[in-house]
Amino acid sequence: MNFQAKTIPCCDCGTNFEFTVAEQEFYQSKGFVNNPKRCPACRATRKSDRTNSTANTTSYNSYAPRQMYAAVCSDCGKTAQVPFEPRNGKPVYCSDCYRKVKAA
């Protein structure tokens, strides 16, 4: 395919930027079908903002430890720690018995 350099207005800042032949070939090799909408500076700013916003989110490891409750296994009678408050009438299993019940 014959590519020619194109001048495109940036949708963020309005500045015209050149979409070079090399960039067009790169886009085609990646399977991209749309032309870029942002100039290189606005693309870099947007990428930086995206990276910073994900870095500020709470990670799984920063959550408070889950409260555990003591319970007696309904199957074997051993004491077990479970991550929910046991309710009357509902069976509670230790890890070993839970695996057996789940596999059945």
What pLDDT does residue 3 have? 92
What confidence tens digit (pLDDT) does each residue in 77-94 have?
A: 999 999 999 988 899 999
- Domain residue extents for the chain: 6-54, 69-103
Beta carbons of 16 and 8 less than 8 angstroms apart: yes
Cβ atoms of 78 and 72 within 8 Å: the answer is yes
Distance CA 99, CA 94 (A): 9
Query: What's residue 94's pLDDT?
Result: 92
Query: Pairing relation of β-strands 16-19 and 6-9?
Result: antiparallel
Tokens describing residue 89: 């009438």
Q: For residues 7 and 20, give the distance between their C-alpha atoms in angstroms, rounded to a whole number.
A: 9
Q: What is the pLDDT of residues 43-70, one digit of tens each?
A: 999 998 887 766 555 556 667 788 999 9
Average pLDDT value over all residues in the chain: 89
